């Protein structure tokens, strides 16, 4: 029997988050490939694991302690010992570490970019350094897998990734698991009917705008915002200032959000930027109509099958509505229109149907197609590491 080729996946940790959930979902769906490949997973940081990994995948626990340089050298040391035939990393820090680890080894390596990189890294001295690292490493990857066409465009235009070395694979949605969890009783029960939003309480999610839009819309339903983060105090103060504090619930992070989503009347996504809005598709999988901003990246592709730039102004879609970013008046109008019957029911049915395009099996097949193509074509960047610095050069081998 021929020796199995080794595939090494890498990520910062499994401590929680969308990228971590996506990776573990893909790994669980990779069982059809385990007969041909030996699968390994490297975790850069030693943190409690929120998501489970199949027992037929070997886990290599590193201890970088969130320090980028430590992660670079620890992953490179692991790669030297393990000698994988191909690697695939998730999240920016792990992606850069993957570039260093595989430099000069003559083997293909792929990265998965989970966010709109320009928007996610922001500005400032630290952001400039992070962007420089992305520009130095991402273009050298055998292939870059983005979560949406908007992220593809950002990587090509702003980070020098060749268009023929990047493609979009949407995040998978595990409809079977969501349906099972949706049937459970929610751990939090709002007092009456409610519309719902979810995400980390940070400025980019723009829940402040949502509060203003909700106050103006005067819906006959409460507003529930799931998630935790540094903006909590400011959002609670804004709800009080708007006079809606008694109609807004912020229960924090909930282990099973699907039980709450499935009982809501509408899902609102007010973000200024996304990589791929997992929460949006998961809400659609629960049969919820949606009102979402036309932010970079993903909502227009999901809801209208169009590039963001092709959507001018607010737009009605089968599953609900797309609204320009940071526009509370238009968002309020969309909330009223989509929440009203019979549109609410018909949009919810359409949302559920549209979500089926983002199934787990399809995503796993697409990821493995990229991995196997890299192994077959043997076309990648090569390089070396000298004195802790990446020295890279383009190389093609047939």
Query: pLDDT digits over 9-48, tens only?
Result: 999 999 877 789 889 999 999 999 999 999 999 999 999 9
Residues 295-328 pLDDT 10s: 987 899 899 988 888 898 899 999 999 999 999 9
Share of the chain above pLDDT 70, in %: 91
What pLDDT shows up at residue 126?
66
Residue 39 vs residues 15, 221, 360: alpha-carbon distances, Å: 20, 48, 18
Closest CA to 5 of 39, 48, 47: 39
- Cα dihedral 149, 154, 157, 160 sign: negative
Residue 259 or 19, more confident = 259
pLDDT at position 390 over 70: no
Closest among 110, 112, 117 to 150, alpha carbons compared: 117
pLDDT (0 to 100) of residue 21: 85
Q: Residue 102 pLDDT more than 70?
A: yes
Judged against a pLDDT cut of 70, whether residue 119 lies above it is answered with no
Q: pTM of the predicted model, to two decimals?
A: 0.73
Q: Is the peptide bond before 14 cis (omega within 30 degrees of 0)?
A: no
Find tokens 């050069």 and name the residue: 393
pLDDT averaged over every residue in the chain? 90
pLDDT at 274 over 90: no
Q: At what angle do helices 125-137 and 92-102 cross, to 10 degrees?
A: 40
Residue 186 C-alpha from the chain's centroid: 24
pLDDT tens-digit series, residues 373-387: 999 975 444 443 333
Q: What's the mean pLDDT in 52-62?
A: 96
- Which 8-state DSSP code applies to residue 4? P
């Amino acid at each position: 029997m021929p020796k199995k080729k080794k595939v090494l996946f890498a990520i910062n940790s499994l401590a929680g988050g969308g990228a971590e959930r996506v990776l573990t979902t893909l790994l669980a769906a990779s069982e059809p490939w385990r007969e041909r490949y030996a699968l390994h997973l490297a975790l850069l940081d030693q943190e409690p694991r929120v998501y489970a990994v199949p027992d037929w995948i070997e886990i290599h626990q590193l201890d970088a302690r969130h320090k980028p340089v430590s992660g670079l050298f620890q992953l490179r040391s692991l790669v030297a010992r393990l000698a994988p035939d191909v690697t695939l990393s998730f999240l920016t820090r792990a992606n850069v570490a993957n570039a260093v680890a595989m430099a000069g080894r003559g083997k293909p390596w792929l990265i998965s970019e989970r966010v709109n990189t320009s928007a996610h890294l922001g500005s400032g001295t630290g952001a400039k350094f992070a962007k420089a690292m992305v520009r130095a490493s991402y273009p050298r990857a055998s292939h870059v897998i983005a979560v949406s066409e908007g992220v593809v465009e950002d990587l090509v235009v702003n980070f020098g990734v060749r268009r023929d070395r990047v493609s979009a694979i949407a995040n998978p949605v595990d409809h079977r698991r969501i349906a099972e969890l949706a049937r459970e009783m929610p751990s939090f029960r709002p007092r009456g009917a409610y519309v719902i939003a979810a995400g980390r309480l940070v400025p980019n999610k723009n829940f402040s705008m949502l509060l203003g839009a909700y106050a103006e819309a005067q819906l006959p339903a409460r507003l529930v915002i799931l998630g935790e983060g540094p903006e909590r105090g400011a959002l609670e103060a804004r709800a009080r200032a708007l006079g809606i504090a008694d109609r807004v619930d912020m229960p924090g992070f909930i282990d099973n959000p699907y039980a709450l989503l499935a009982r809501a009347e509408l899902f609102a996504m007010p973000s200024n930027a996304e990589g791929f809005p997992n929460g949006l598709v998961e809400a659609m999988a629960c049969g919820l109509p949606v009102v979402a901003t036309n932010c970079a990246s993903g909502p227009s592709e999901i809801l209208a099958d169009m590039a963001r730039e092709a959507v001018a102004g607010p737009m009605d879609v089968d599953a609900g509505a797309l609204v320009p970013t940071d526009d509370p008046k238009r968002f309020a109008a969309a909330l009223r229109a989509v929440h009203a019957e019979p549109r609410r029911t018909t949009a919810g049915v359409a949302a559920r149907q549209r979500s089926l395009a983002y199934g787990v099996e399809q995503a796993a097949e697409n990821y493995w197609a990229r991995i196997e193509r890299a192994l077959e074509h043997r076309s990648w960047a090569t390089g070396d590491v000298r004195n802790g610095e990446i020295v890279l050069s383009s190389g093609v081998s047939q």
